[in-house]
Chains A and B, each alone.
Chain A
Amino acid sequence: EAQVTQNPRYLITVTGKKLTVTCSQNMNHEYMSWYRQDPGLGLRQIYYSMNVEVTDKGDVPEGYKVSRKEKRNFPLILESPSPNQTSLYFCASSLSPTGGGEQYFGPGTRLTVT
């Protein structure tokens, strides 16, 4: 089954404690991205990746890091989480970054930073 998986699904952590949210897709997609969803703001792109070792900032990259060492994986790293990073996070992938190719979304990770 074609899917994007994220782990963990829920996470409560404290300010400053480094964490990683994993993302993996089994569709051999080149394009992957991370979004955060906040009430009233919709989804905003954090980082994206065109392919292995090719990543770039989205609209709200501050406080986040990513890496793309393998095509299937695109982890999101919060080196020193802060309460303003409390949000719902989605990983997404698509075969192509343009056209009508559907972006497949992971199930989401609900992060709370206290």
Chain B
Amino acid sequence: AQKITQTQPGMFVQEKEAVTLDCTYDTSDQSYGLFWYKQPSSGEMIFLIYQGSYDEQNATEGRYSLNFQKARKSANLVISASQLGDSAMYFCAMRPSNAGGTSYGKLTFGQGTILTVHP
């Protein structure tokens, strides 16, 4: 079984500063993928970034980077130079990368972190 834990129900950051959203996970799968999604108040789910468990380098996408520490089973999202439009709910998710098993294809989500960016 897979489990994602996001321990920060809410985070506040000043505009233009960096912020780290925490995500820890638990899985028995050897190969898996980690995702971050953004959900603004309008409700849609926006894909931000992906990290494969065997990727040697941390993923980056523009202002987003994923601080992947496999031994600690953490996959924190770092947003640099926060903008007002970054205010949203953020979800960490994972899914196995190998075929077979009851979790095949399923994205398991954390509870989410609400980020508020202050001007």
Contacts and interface: CB of A to CB of B under 8 A. Distances in A.
A104 B44 CA distance: 10
Interface in A36-75: 40-45, 48, 50, 58-59
Contacts of B105: 31, 33, 48, 50, 94, 97-98
Interface in A70-114: 88, 90, 92, 94, 97-100, 102-105, 107-108, 110
B112 A42 contact: yes
Contacts, number: 64
A43 B44 CA distance: 12
A43 B106 contact: no
Interface string B99-119: 100001111111110000000
Nearest to A107: B44
Nearest to B100: A98
Contacts of A102: 47, 50
Give the contact-size bracket for chain B. Answer: 20 to 34
A88 B110 CA distance: 16
Given A98-B96, A99-B33, A100-B33, A58 B43 contact: no
A105 B43 CA distance: 11
B97 interface: yes
A42 B110 contact: yes
A98 B97 CA distance: 5
A45 to B, nearest CB: 5
Nearest to A57: B102
Contacts of A43: 91, 93, 107, 109
A94 B104 CA distance: 13
Interface in B73-110: 91, 93, 95-99, 104-110
Nearest to B106: A45
B11 interface: no
B18 interface: no
A99 B45 contact: no
A89 B29 CA distance: 27
Interface of A: 31, 33, 35, 40-45, 48, 50, 58-59, 88, 90, 92, 94, 97-100, 102-105, 107-108, 110
Cβ-closest 5 pairs across A and B: A97-B105, A42-B109, A105-B45, A43-B109, A100-B50
